[in-house]
Amino acid sequence: MTTQLHDETNDANARHTFGRRALLKMTGASVAAIGASSFFNTSTAKAQTMTQDWDKVFPKSDRVDHEKVSFTNRYGITLTGDLYLPKDRSSAMPALAVSGPFGAVKEQSSGLYAQTMAERGFIALAFDQSFTGESGGEPRNVASPDFSTEDVSAAVDFLGLHEAVNRERIGVIGICGWGGFVLNAAAADKRIKAVVASTMYDISRVSAHGYNDSMTAEQRAEALDQMSRQRWADAENGSPAYLPPFNAEVAADAPQFMKDYHDYYMTPRGYHERAVNSGNAWTQTNSLSFMNMPLLTYIDEIAPRPILLIHGENAHSRYMSETAYEAAAEPKELLIVPGANHTDLYDKVDVIPFDRIESFFSDNLA
């Protein structure tokens, strides 16, 4: 049976509505990322240099142990993660793989979620997606629905081999764009026993159809033509061209959610130099594969394993969780956080419903 801890509102004023000009400028996966970068140049699938310094955007907890770890996905790319373990732990513990937002790094929101869940008794792994952060893959700052989905399962591989983890008690948390990836991964990977998607973006939907599905057929064809031709330019140059750094400057008349992204990614609140979204950039062809590969086609096959979707009442992206909720089968829950916007659920610990997340996993990873 579906449970909702907060009443939903149908008031259209609770959601942001944007002018057509703004929407047309923000199509493709880059709109969800709001960030990106051209200064990385590596020629290996191995992990980047792994720092041992505490360089997170949140304070270190004295209630958990922390380890830097690495593991390899099915395509041979080495992923780098932060493993958070409760100080008071035993064997056969429940574990969580955590990632997101799309274009962020593990030192940001996913690390905060992972550390907080470790404080609450779960082993939790926050990791960088392929081609970004401290994870391997070349060229840098490129994404794919297949690679990102695979990275989730690779994290489950790692957790299932850890001596303190009961491999039959593994769940996943995806934040923002990674909400879509963890749902897609769980549909295929039956080892995942429970799923939380917080402030979810469906990157494939917003890439293929624009915000609020506003992209016309003509605009979609034009975008695909432009990116297809960019492939020739990239092939001729021997390296990809990159998008502008979306978060570096925000116009006074920009939609509020753009200002909210800037407030998180480009200020001391959440800035991290390795994050695509913190003034760096995705490749110009980054959206290409997302436009023809919808992520949420099979999420009804997650059942009978449970799904918890969490979204802010005032988030511009709320409609994506509502659509996912409609497409999913029972057991499922849509929790609407009153007054919250999209980025409030990145790092505001007094807004993120950690109590509900804890009880959800405690009940379903027992």
Two tokens at 100?
């997101």
Q: Which residue has the tokens 């907060």?
A: 6
Note down pLDDT in tens along the chain; length 366 residues: 344 444 333 333 333 333 323 433 444 444 433 333 333 333 346 667 888 889 999 999 999 999 999 999 999 999 999 999 999 998 899 999 999 999 999 999 999 999 999 999 999 999 999 999 999 999 999 999 999 999 999 999 999 999 999 999 999 999 999 999 999 999 999 999 999 999 999 999 999 999 999 999 999 999 999 999 999 999 999 999 999 997 988 999 999 999 999 999 999 999 999 999 999 999 999 999 999 999 999 999 999 999 999 999 999 999 999 999 999 999 999 999 999 999 999 999 999 999 999 999 999 999
* ∠ CA 357-179-281, rounded to 5°: 130
| Beta carbons of 140 and 129 less than 8 angstroms apart | no
Tell which CATH classification among 3.40.50.1820, 3.40.190.10, 3.30.530.20, 3.60.21.10 matches the domain 12-364.
3.40.50.1820
Q: Alpha helices, DSSP H only, in 16-108?
A: 20-24, 29-33
Q: Whole-structure pTM over 0.85, yes or no?
A: yes
Q: Indicate the residue type of 156.
A: V
What is the 8-class DSSP label of residue 124? E
Continuous segment of H or E residues that includes residue 257: helix 256-265
- The encoded tokens of residue 101 equal 């937002």
* Domain spans of the chain, in order of start: 12-364
| Paired residues of 172 in beta bridges | 97, 195
Give me the count of residues in the chain.
366
Distance CA 275, CA 292 (A): 26
